[in-house]
Structure 1
């Protein structure tokens, strides 16, 4: 199968994922509105949403085998989105920071009710033991991120080592092909190393999300998933519009995929 076909499949994979996130967001919002006290249903809808994340991670892992670098600098993302990428996606610790942000905003919003003893069971009412567990997970996650970042930095620095640097130095013309396609073989090796780091980063992202969900109550977990999907979907739409406004889309002749022409969900 040609690299062009694999690349098109990667774009379709991302488009399908954005569409799935919108469907999941609608279902999660309905759960918050109609079944906020139904623990079993909240747990069911949470597991369903996470299973979709697992399916997407698995699908893109299969595609990334053919070209890991494409997922580290995806052409299907906007420039603003890509500027925030950490090894092909968001930083795992972003999920935890979102918990902190939601806790603070919801507590401020319902502070008077909280003092009067009114309880909503949401993230604004996270317990001390829960917060301690989140803090511990945050500290561990940052260490794990640093390890993967260090490995990625080493891989990037290796571009200046043998054999790529020497192959480039020996060229009589810039970018000329090398005997025996040596350059392509070396680049394929680097691409495989990048793929392995991408898989490790995706695994960490998924494990951290599951870890946070396990700490939260079912209602809090649904609220977190709603907020994270709103953030991802809104940032994608806002960033795409910004590229159009800045002329980046026309300049690079890009067609950023979107699962819908609808306005981004309110955050």
Structure 2
């Protein structure tokens, strides 16, 4: 059953203060704590649905609430990034393992789709013909041929949009060397040279715009996926996604402790 989530982000201006980094870290910690709570709620909903004690309407309400919480987190990031965007690209509140898989401040949207493939327990792309013939493989809610076609089409679209954003990131990373740093290098006496903050501020503004667009693509991908799968599949999917995110954090902390003890 397809369903849509029409949640529009609200933009707000945030004044700069000495606690901006703390606000960013607190937002992340609050979000991760919320992942634990939502995972329990989603797992409970799956268990009840399998006993026919939770209907599609109730499952859709849970999905909508979960997506809305994600949108609230994205909105908070956007407001704080307008003040200081750099930490979102290499957050000190994440472990090195978590940072090693970041793409423009978060997960790659295409990884949302690959999770569906993993839940099915197969390489979807190489077995697409079998799905079209009605052969059901894996435990992820018996995906049908029509769903697989839609997911495959979505993957192609999202990867193309990812590449465009990655290309823009590469250009911005090159620009910061070509413009601000080069100007400072030429003007040893910065008091007599041009104000080096101006190009850096312009660069930060562009990086904040890019982060916002990447978050929008993440939101778009999630909503498209939940519009393709059934309510119970959506709940199972979100539960799996949250388990993976929490495990990644735990693995990162464990690796840090191991390296610290060596």
TM-score above 0.5, yes or no: yes
Alignment match, 1:75: 92
Per the normalisation by structure 1, the TM-score is: 0.81
Unaligned segments of structure 2, at least 5 residues: 1-14, 123-135
Hey, what's the Cα distance between the residues in 2 that align with 1:101 and 1:44? 26
List per-residue Cα deviations over 1:44-97 (Å, max 9, x = no partner): 111111111011001111111101111111111110100110000000000000
Q: Cα offset for 1:104?
A: 1.6
Alignment of 1:200-215 (within 5 A): 200-215=213-228
Q: Any idea what SS the aligned residue of 1:75 has?
A: coil
Alignment match, 2:38: 24
Alignment match, 2:128: none
Report how many aligned residue pairs link the two structures: 233
Q: Any idea what SS the aligned residue of 1:191 has?
A: helix
Alignment match, 1:104: 121
The change in CA–CA distance for 1:58 and 1:2 in structure 2 (over 3 A counts) is closer
The change in CA–CA distance for 1:79 and 1:178 in structure 2 (over 3 A counts) is farther
Q: Cα offset for 1:169?
A: 3.5
Hey, what's the Cα distance between the residues in 2 that align with 1:154 and 1:2? 27
Q: Cα offset for 1:241?
A: 1.9
List per-residue Cα deviations over 1:231-251 (Å, max 9, x = no partner): 001101110221122129xxx
Q: Cα offset for 1:123?
A: 1.8
Alignment of 1:50-199 (within 5 A): 50-104=67-121, 123-171=140-188, 177-179=190-192, 182-199=195-212
Unaligned segments of structure 1, at least 5 residues: 106-118, 249-267
The change in CA–CA distance for 1:208 and 1:178 in structure 2 (over 3 A counts) is farther
Hey, what's the Cα distance between the residues in 1 that align with 2:45 and 2:194? 56
Q: Any idea what SS the aligned residue of 2:106 has?
A: coil
List per-residue Cα deviations over 1:8-60 (Å, max 9, x = no partner): 00000001000111111110011011133411111111111111101100111
Per the normalisation by structure 2, the TM-score is: 0.83
The change in CA–CA distance for 1:22 and 1:179 in structure 2 (over 3 A counts) is farther
**8 Å Cα contact 1:57/1:202 also seen in 2:** yes
List per-residue Cα deviations over 1:125-168 (Å, max 9, x = no partner): 10000000000000000000000001111111112323431322
Asked whether 1:10 is paired with 2:24, we answer: yes
